Amino acid sequence: MNADWYFDFVSPFAYLQSEQLGSLAPRISVRYRPVLFAGLLGAHGQKGPAEIPAKRIFTYRFCVWQAKRLGIRLRFPPEHPFNPLPLLRLAVA
């Protein structure tokens, strides 16, 4: 069975998911599909969670809590949000 996994490196939720994808093998073969989250948001006239102060605080706290609950080491990059476009292009290449 195949599954498509759409992700953007800027998302801490994508990181938490990526750390769990190995548990799907060998039952499911994951196809990685990089997407530009900001592009999806922009197409619908929305801001990202990190661009809204209250939502940013909640998102960061929730991700830290979720990482601890799952036993996943989580450390945010020095600057967040950041431009993930170079990383996404590398992933496609």
pLDDT tens across the length of the chain (93 residues): 999 999 999 999 999 999 999 999 889 999 999 999 999 999 999 999 989 999 999 999 999 999 999 999 999 999 888 999 999 999 999
Residue 16 to residue 73: CA distance in whole angstroms: 9
Enclosing domain of residue 18: 2-92
Which alpha helices (DSSP H) does 1-93 contain, by range?
12-18, 37-43, 53-70, 85-92
What pLDDT is stored for residue 46 in this prediction? 96
**Cα-flanking dihedrals φ and ψ of residue 43, to 5°?**
-65, -20
* Residue 65: DSSP 8-state: H
Indicate which CATH number applies to the domain containing 88. 3.40.30.10
Residue 87 CA to residue 30 CA, distance in Å, equals 19
Domain count within the chain: 1
